[in-house]
Chain A
Amino acid sequence: GDSVTQMEGPVTLSEEAFLTINCTYTATGYPSLFWYVQYPGEGLQLLLKATKADDKGSNKGFEATYRKETTSFHLEKGSVQVSDSAVYFCALTYNNNDMRFGAGTRLTVKP
């Protein structure tokens, strides 16, 4: 079945470092792809999304491009801040039905 695999953490970076969190997917069709962020003790917040191949989602300095040829949706940010420390989830879905999530990647940014 459809699934998402994301880079295992934890990831620890210094403030202003470049961030990449890898995400690859397996899908029978053409799903929408998402990155969600979860802060300690909270639910999931949508960070960005892309609904078709070559779309780039972006928000708060984070970016990810839907790459059909490599079945990837890697998350990047040019300069991380301490406030970006959280768990990041890559996910896919067809029309908001059964959403498949990766296992999550914990990011810690140190000052």
Chain B
Amino acid sequence: DAGVTQSPTHLIKTRGQQVTLRCSPKSGHDTVSWYQQALGQGPQFIFQYYEEEERQRGNFPDRFSGHQFPNYSSELNVNALLLGDSALYLCASSLKSGGRTEAFFGQGTRLTVV
């Protein structure tokens, strides 16, 4: 079982550009959540996808958007990048019908905006 895999591991973008980050969930999981972790802080919830639809959203602007594919993998897109978007982006997968089972996190994508 490969667990949750994210790509790329590191990325450098210029302010104003757009970026796409990818996540493959753990085998058997159907729900993907994305988190932003700024340096020295705890992760902040961006949004969650289930059945190819955004089901919940945290306090992030519309520049942050996502997608979930039929195979449950997901993408996070960020438009018009700002310096403040520099962070570790974490993907977590879980099973919607799993009740109180835990979410599994990927290793993250380190995004640097210059």
Contact = CB atoms under 8 A, between A and B. Distances in A.
A44 B6 CA distance: 13
Contact of A99 (B41, B92, B96, B100): B92
B94 interface: yes
Contacts of A28: none
Contacts, number: 64
Interface in B73-114: 88, 90, 92, 94-96, 98-108
Contacts of A34: 102
A43 B93 CA distance: 13
A32 B103 CA distance: 11
Interface residues of A, number: 23
A97 B105 contact: no
Contact of A43 (B55, B100, B107): B107
A81 interface: no
Nearest to B41: A103
A45 B96 CA distance: 20
A46 B4 CA distance: 13
A58 interface: no
B29 to A, nearest CB: 10
A104 B105 contact: no
B27 interface: no
Contacts of B96: 96
A96 B50 CA distance: 12
B105 A43 contact: yes
Given A43-B90, A44-B43, A103-B41, A96 B98 contact: yes
A73 interface: no
Given A96-B31, A96-B98, A98-B56, A43 B106 contact: yes
Contact of B103 (A42, A99, A100): A99
Given A45-B105, A89-B42, A96-B96, 14 more contacts: A32-B102, A43-B4, A43-B88, A43-B90, A43-B105, A43-B106, A43-B108, A44-B43, A46-B102, A46-B105, A89-B43, A96-B94, A97-B48, A98-B33
